[in-house]
Amino acid sequence: MTENDEIQGQTGEEIRMPDITYKPGYNKLDSFNWLKDIPEPADGHDIVEIRFKNTRKGFYRNVNGLRLEIGDVVAVEASPGHDIGRVSMVGSLVGEQFRELKTQPSPDDIKKVYRKAKAVDIQKWEEAKKLETPTMLRSRKISEELKLNMKIGDVEYQGDKTKGIFYYIADERVDFRQLIKVLADEFKIRIEMRQIGARQEAGRIGGIGSCGRELCCSTYITNFISVTTTHAKYQELSLNPQKLAGQCGKLKCCLNFEVDCYIDAQRSFPPRDIPLETTDTTAYFLKMEVHKGVYWYTTDPHSTANMLAIPVQRVREIQAMNKKGIKADRLLILDESWEATTVSEDLLENNSLTRFDLATSKSDQHKHSHKRKNRRFHEKKNDK
């Protein structure tokens, strides 16, 4: 069964597969199958990974020995009824995933894969997905009527339309027992409430970041690592909440991307809290440029006047001299201030539009020079 196959239902109408066509690597819950070129053992692996909507996925046992491939739509065991999901990982890679997660559940705890999804299953699954947005909007109004301090960010229906998962955000503990009763009477399904954070909500909704690209949390980040202002301090960033915060209102996850590089670069740097003593004055640390290897000092600790850039190596030498009780004659060895070699920011400076054209020799240029002279002569003649 392919993604574009049309399935004939029992009533004769045409039923299509889900609108979102499966493409390996296009879903953030997909895992790279680095064992695809290695033949599988004869006994195989009876545990597969199934992904559902949003960031929910789990492991299921293929008790019926079905020939499952990545991307297949299957019906799996749920509590109660059954659910519909896609196969995201098969084979020996599942065992490697267990080792990475450092979990080995017992066989009794792993639910079963019933079958590959039939036409009726897919039809009911499509109907359930169409109900999710209206259900979310209606549930938000109900929570406002009950005056609950919470926000319902998303709703996920089970594949058989017997259960719904309501994802909500709340800053404090919320008593939603009355809400569950009202929702159950309103939608005639079992209700499950799951609390998520602001980062998870931004990943579900999506958006464009300040960098101009799609949010990392909605494309590939699944495990959110805590971000603190210490990460910004290591990178010498201005502690401006408006610039450091993402669309979720929390510190940007991308602050974690380069912090290790900055930490490694600063390991060999001299301490910054030690002032530099010279015969003329005392210099106090102001800021630094990590990748240029420069410390900026000023003679007034309460002002940014008279700022001077000093290389890290020179700072280390002066601190060693001060430790021995010797004051340096001057901060810099040279009279002029030290300047780092700057790189041009114009990326197209050395890129000509004709750089891929074939070079013409001088003989070819001389060969066709008479044609250019004749052309100019005829143009003048026509003008007259």
Local confidence band at 378 (pLDDT 50, 70, 90 cut-offs): low
Measure the CA–CA gap between 117 and 85, rounded to whole angstroms. 9
Are 108 and 144 part of one and the same domain?
no
The confidence score (pLDDT) of residue 189 equals: 92
The DSSP result for 213-258, as a single string, is SB-GGGTT--SPPP--HHHHHHTT----HHHHB-TTSSBPGGGGTS
242-274 burial: b if 16+ Cβ within 10 Å, else e: eebebbbebbbbbbbeebeebeeeeeeebeeee
Write out pLDDT tens, residues 94-146.
877 777 777 676 777 789 999 999 989 889 998 998 999 999 999 999 999 99
The domain containing residue 75 runs over which residues?
Answer: 6-118
The confidence score (pLDDT) of residue 252 equals: 92
Are 28 and 107 part of one and the same domain?
yes
Local confidence band at 54 (pLDDT 50, 70, 90 cut-offs): low
| C-beta separation of 302 from 284 below 8 A | no
Domain final residue, candidates 62, 97, 118: 118
Non-local (6+) Cβ contacts of 354 within 8 A are none
Are 179 and 244 part of one and the same domain?
no
Percentage of the chain exceeding pLDDT 70:
76
The confidence score (pLDDT) of residue 200 equals: 86
Task: Decide if 291 is inside a domain.
Answer: yes
The confidence score (pLDDT) of residue 363 equals: 57
Over residues 161-172, the mean pLDDT reads 91
Place of tokens 């002279």: 373
The better pLDDT of the pair 371, 273 is held by 273
* Residue 156, domain CATH: 3.30.300.20
Tokens of 6: 């049309």
Task: Decide if 367 is inside a domain.
Answer: no
The confidence score (pLDDT) of residue 52 equals: 87
Write out pLDDT tens, residues 183-230.
999 999 999 999 988 888 888 888 888 888 888 888 888 778 888 889
Task: Decide if 344 is inside a domain.
Answer: no
- Gap between the terminal Cα atoms of the chain: 77
Task: Decide if 384 is inside a domain.
Answer: no
Over residues 263-276, the mean pLDDT reads 89
The confidence score (pLDDT) of residue 374 equals: 61
Local confidence band at 1 (pLDDT 50, 70, 90 cut-offs): very low
The confidence score (pLDDT) of residue 187 equals: 93
Are 105 and 18 part of one and the same domain?
yes
Write out pLDDT tens, residues 224-257.
888 888 999 888 888 888 889 988 889 999 999 9
Domain count, the chain: 4
Tell me, what DSSP letter sits at residue 217? G
The confidence score (pLDDT) of residue 8 equals: 44
Are 244 and 280 part of one and the same domain?
no
| C-beta separation of 307 from 294 below 8 A | no
Percentage of the chain exceeding pLDDT 90:
21
Are 184 and 138 part of one and the same domain?
yes
Measure the CA–CA gap between 154 and 168, rounded to whole angstroms. 7
Are 191 and 278 part of one and the same domain?
no
The better pLDDT of the pair 32, 180 is held by 180
Task: Decide if 374 is inside a domain.
Answer: no
Q: Is the pLDDT of residue 347 over 50?
A: yes
Average predicted confidence (pLDDT) for the chain: 80
Q: Going edge to edge, which strands form the sheet with 282-289? A: 276-277, 282-289, 294-298, 308-311
Domain final residue, candidates 176, 196, 216: 196
Local confidence band at 265 (pLDDT 50, 70, 90 cut-offs): confident
The confidence score (pLDDT) of residue 30 equals: 67
Are 301 and 256 part of one and the same domain?
no
The confidence score (pLDDT) of residue 63 equals: 87
Task: Decide if 155 is inside a domain.
Answer: yes
- CA angle at residue 144 from 202 to 162, to 5 degrees? 70
Task: Decide if 306 is inside a domain.
Answer: yes
The confidence score (pLDDT) of residue 3 equals: 40
The better pLDDT of the pair 361, 49 is held by 49
Write out pLDDT tens, residues 309-345.
899 999 999 999 999 989 888 888 754 444 544 444 5
Are 258 and 300 part of one and the same domain?
no
Are 35 and 110 part of one and the same domain?
yes
Are 231 and 151 part of one and the same domain?
no
Local confidence band at 84 (pLDDT 50, 70, 90 cut-offs): very high
The confidence score (pLDDT) of residue 193 equals: 93
Q: Is the pLDDT of residue 21 over 80?
A: no
Helix and strand tally (H, E) in the chain? 11, 14
Task: Decide if 74 is inside a domain.
Answer: yes
Radius of gyration of the chain (CA): 33
Tokens of 237: 């960033």
Local confidence band at 167 (pLDDT 50, 70, 90 cut-offs): very high
Tokens of 242: 């408006």
Are 256 and 279 part of one and the same domain?
no
Q: 130 in helix, strand or coil?
A: helix
The confidence score (pLDDT) of residue 336 equals: 46
User: Which neighbouring-strand residues pair with 168?
Assistant: 152, 195
Q: Which ranges constitute the DSSP H helices of 211-297? A: 229-234, 241-244, 259-266
Domain final residue, candidates 72, 88, 118: 118
